[in-house]
């Protein structure tokens, strides 16, 4: 389960993608709804975030084609901040991401301790 939480904040992203525009508008939660894949995971896992319209979240980690872990929780948006709350071993764990870009099929942000997050929207498989 730590892998899921770590992936929410550790995923690597190119520095130029994290450039912020001056006074960006608040995030539109409707733009999050759908399936997103984390990019740049050094552990070679496939991490998929599934955001539902009612604020529900499911994170699945797959290794070698097999689902190795799954966590369910919620998400909320406050301005440009995205808070992910995942239940791990019966305890809620919050991770906050400052989102610099959301659009064109990409979500780019910075998590706790300055760790970049890059998600790419998945098309129906």
Tens-digit pLDDT profile for residues 9-21:
444 333 444 455 5
pTM: 0.77
List pLDDT tens digits, range 53-112: 999 999 999 988 888 899 999 999 999 999 999 988 788 899 999 999 999 899 999 998
Token pair recorded at residue 18: 């994290």
CA distances from 78 to 4, 72, 84, 98, 109 (A): 22, 20, 12, 10, 14
Quote the radius of gyration of the chain (alpha carbons, Å).
13
For 67, the token pair is: 């689902």
Locate the DSSP E strands across 5-65.
34-38, 46-51, 56-63
pLDDT class for 5, splitting at 50, 70, 90? very low
């Amino acid at each position: 389960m730590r892998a899921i939480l770590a992936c929410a904040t550790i995923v690597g992203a190119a520095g130029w993608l994290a450039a912020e525009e001056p006074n960006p508008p608040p995030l539109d939660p409707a733009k999050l709804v759908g399936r997103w894949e984390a990019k740049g995971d050094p552990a070679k896992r496939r991490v998929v975030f599934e955001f539902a319209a009612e604020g529900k979240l499911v994170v699945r980690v797959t290794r070698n084609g097999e689902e190795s872990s799954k966590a369910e929780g919620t998400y909320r948006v406050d301005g440009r901040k995205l808070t992910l709350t995942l239940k791990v071993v019966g305890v809620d764990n919050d991770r906050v991401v400052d989102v610099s870009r959301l659009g064109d099929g990409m979500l780019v942000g910075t998590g706790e301790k300055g760790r970049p997050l890059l998600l790419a929207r998945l098309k129906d498989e």
